[in-house]
Amino acid sequence: MKGRFARLVIVVAVVPLLIGLFLITGGGAADGADHGVGSVRIVPVAGLTGLTSRPPFASNSHGLPPGRGALVAQITSQTAVRASPGGARIGSLGLKSQFGSPVVAWVRRQSGKWLGLVSPVVGNGRLGWIPMSAASLRRVNYQLDVSLSARHVTILYRGRQIERYLIAIGKPSAPTPTGDFAVTDRLQTGDPSGPYGCCILATSALAPHAIQDWSGGNRIAIHSTPETSSIGLPVSHGCMRLTLPEGAWLIAHIPLGTPVIIRE
């Protein structure tokens, strides 16, 4: 009898811990492959969330999707990326990102049947051009505005501020780059106590150096951290850090392709 009672106590104690882990990690792996971040495994979050239209994407044959949000393109067939409309090839885009997410990019310009994309393939401050026939189009109503001097990220929805979070930014030897970028991946780590907390928004921004313990190479991210004492300080390798609840909010709301505007 005592043995049964002891086992019951253990089960009662463990169940809340399992429930908490389920809530933090989203109940298991999302679509796509696992990738390592140091000793942490990361998975892309399923779904594109927060977009103004639902699948399927707006048909190119009917022109651009309606609305005033930022235009984003999901790659639907592997395509060359060119330096200008019809110009020299400078890279390529497939259907999946390096983290296993659908490739969705912010369209900054359009020229005839060509789309000028913000993409890590072409680097900071440049556009990569693809034929419109290689993508499907939507609009997003969100935008992330980062002020490095104020150390804030402001979340806009349809041009109106709905959230503002204090962030850590890059240290002087590894500054956070400025420019116009976009969200490329929404990732969960499954380990909120790890260096990237629970949640990561990878962006198209590139640092001039590799980032320690980060499988994204020199890709800049907005991610949560359990080290809340670092928030508000210039201490990172270029990424932007915020709290675990704030990181979870971003993952739940911010779609792929969302513009990320980083200003000094």
Q: Indicate which residues carry an active-site annotation.
A: 223, 239
Residues 93 and 79 sit within 8 Å (Cβ to Cβ): yes
Number of residues assigned to the chain: 264
The alpha helices in 104-215, defined as continuous H runs, are: none
Tokens of 190: 């499954």
Sign of the alpha-carbon dihedral angle for 230, 231, 235, 239: positive
Q: Are 197 and 223 in contact (CB under 8 A)?
A: yes
> What is the C-alpha separation between 6 and 114, in angstroms, rounded?
68
Can you count the helices (H) and strands (E) in the chain?
A: 2, 19
Structure tokens at 167: 């962030």
